A = this chain, B = another copy of it.
Amino acid sequence: MTDLQKLSSSKHFGGKLEKYSHQSSSTNCVMTFNIYLPEAAVNGTKVPVLYCLGGLTSSEENFATKAGAASFAAKYGLALVFPDTSPRNVDVPEAGVASDLGYGAGFYLTATQEPWAKNWNMYDYVAKELPALLDAQFPIDTKRQGITGHSMGGHGALTIFLKNQQNYTSISAFAPILHPTNCAWGQKAFPAYLGDDATTWNNYDTIHLLRRYVSENNLRKDFKALIDQGTGDVFLEKQLFTNEFIQATKDLGIESQFEVRFQDGYDHGYYFISTFVADHIDHHAKALGLTAAQ
């Protein structure tokens, strides 16, 4: 981790928005991320952190520049981390062909198939390597973490949270992909990254994970997830499966742990996310025990 390089630093809402790169042991390439450090962190105080995971085709830039989250994070003294969504610039020609496989399409999993296995390990990167790096090199208290994300990043946030429930205090998502084993995006990416045995795909499917953890009695009872979903989102019916998710939580008797809000007329983009990001920061801050400065 000694190769961490600061690429830029901009003052932002009293704190700093910084971009870093480093050689990743998970993805075996140079990874870039943005981080928002509120004023207290800039002054050396350890602060809690919210991971903000991006969707298909996005990078570490989109959520940092378009969501408008830092304004509210500043108020609470909360750091924000914006990872990239896949390895970059690796020797995998297939990675640059499609918008839903390869670059910008890491799906927050650990690939087992060629040519992806060496690099496409965004699960390890986000769930393990990045927290360790933050703990070692930033004024961040990784014992107090929340996680959120958009679309593919909402899928990442929910699945990483469920598989590491002890590591995250709070969880939310914007228009998450909730049942990727059943939608076209997942049915393209999962066999490519994980192979043809569809039972391995279930490790990265929110509905399947909920069924597993409830049946094993391993679902925490003390969290409440916030999910916002626009009704004007063209991906709602065929890729996101929000209604199937709600039904699954009812079937499992856990619907009270998921507040799913349908937002009338909003679409899948950042104009939707920015409209509701204040509620999500409030949600995480409350769970993390933070109070707003006046």
Contact = CB atoms under 8 A, between A and B. Distances in A.
A141 interface: no
A192 B272 CA distance: 42
A258 interface: no
A220 to B, nearest CB: 33
Interface stretch (A11-19, A147-155, A168-176, A177-185): A11-19
A68 B266 contact: no
Interface string A247-266: 00000000000000001111
A269 interface: yes
Contact of A66 (B14, B66, B230, B269): B66
A267 interface: yes
Identical copies in the complex: 2
A71 B232 CA distance: 20
A58 to B, nearest CB: 13
Q: Among the interface residues A13, A232, A263, A271, which one has the most CB atoms of the partner chain B within 10 A?
A: A271
A25 interface: no
A266 B65 contact: no
A291 interface: no
A10 interface: yes
Contacts of A200: none
B68 A275 contact: no
Contact of A266 (B11, B230, B270): B11
A4 B272 CA distance: 25
Given A17-B271, A71-B274, A11 B65 contact: no
A11 B274 contact: no
Interface in A68-98: 68, 70-71
A11 B265 contact: yes
Contacts of A13: 274-275
Q: Among the interface residues A66, A272, A275, which one has the most CB atoms of the partner chain B within 10 A?
A: A275
A15 to B, nearest CB: 10
Contacts of A68: 68, 71, 274
Contacts of A266: 10-11
Contacts of A270: 65
13 contacts: A10-B267, A10-B269, A10-B272, A11-B230, A11-B265, A11-B272, A11-B275, A12-B271, A12-B274, A13-B274, A65-B65, A65-B66, A71-B274
Given A11-B272, A13-B275, A71-B274, 9 more contacts: A10-B266, A10-B267, A10-B269, A11-B264, A11-B266, A11-B267, A65-B65, A66-B66, A68-B274
